[in-house]
Amino acid sequence: AQSVAQPEDQVNVAEGNPLTVKCTYSVSGNPYLFWYVQYPNRGLQFLLKYITGDNLVKGSYGFEAEFNKSQTSFHLKKPSALVSDSALYFCAVRDGLAAGNKLTFGGGTRVLVKP
Amino acid sequence: ETGVTQTPRHLVMGMTNKKSLKCEQHLGHNAMYWYKQSAKKPLELMFVYNFKEQTENNSVPSRFSPECPNSSHLFLHLHTLQPEDSALYLCASSPAETGTYEQYFGPGTRLTVT
């Protein structure tokens, strides 16, 4: 079975400050991890993914995420947040042992960046 | 834009109506997905199609009927829905069902059942 948790429903941050959105996961095999962002009245947009290799993954719009196997975490980070980063962020996981491309999504974290 | 389009963007229907949602992808992908996004609930996978064949039905009620005539098009036929079916329905695609591919999502259809 595969599962993912986003412990924070909302994160508030001032513009220019670092932004972190937390994600933890549980899988039987190796994890394939993804971050998506959803702006109002839009679908999900892919930000980045971890499959294997370097634990620090860089993605779109200046976002990066760090894979931590011992803590089973994949937190999303941005060094300096923008007001335009205000959106709903989803972490997703797929178990490397599972057949198919079935992703399990977290409940989402709403990010509010204030000017 | 992600290369995945959905129509209509908004739909209001009564419980006795029959309607269809349409999804089209222009990415040359072979796998397509239907998701349901409800308020305060995680994104729920409904159906998966790979090379036009259904490979996943996530215990979805029969009032939702998917159709995939080719790898570029995916439909969701709706009939005798319930008010709790009101949600944002998202279509997604990926190069294949296997592998490590990310999925590309359309903008969704906001469905309201009255």
Q: Which tens digits make up the pLDDT trace of B70-109?
A: 999 999 999 999 999 999 999 999 998 777 788 999 999 9
Q: What's the pLDDT score for residue A108?
A: 95
Nearest to A92 by CA among B5, B74, B101: B101
CB within 8 Å: A102 and B45:
yes
Q: What is the pLDDT of residues A4-50, one digit of tens each?
A: 999 999 999 999 999 999 999 999 888 999 999 999 888 899 999 99
Q: Are B2 and A43 in contact (CB under 8 A)?
A: yes
B98/A contact by beta carbon, under 8 A? yes
Which residues in chain A are closer than 8 Å to B94, comparing Cβ atoms? 101
Q: Compare CB distances from A43 to B31, B97, B106 and report the shortest one's residue.
A: B106
Nearest CA among A86, A38, A64 for reference residue B2: A38
Return the pLDDT at B99.
Answer: 75
Cβ-contact B16, B114 below 8 angstroms:
no
**Per residue in A72-110, pLDDT tens?**
999 999 999 999 999 999 999 998 777 677 889 999 999
Cα–Cα dist A87/A109, whole Å: 8
Of A49, A90, A102, the CB nearest to B102: A49
How does DSSP assign A42-84, residue by residue? Answer: --EEEEEEE-SS-SEEE-GGG-EEEEETTTTEEEEEESS--GG
Higher local confidence (pLDDT), B16 or A21: A21
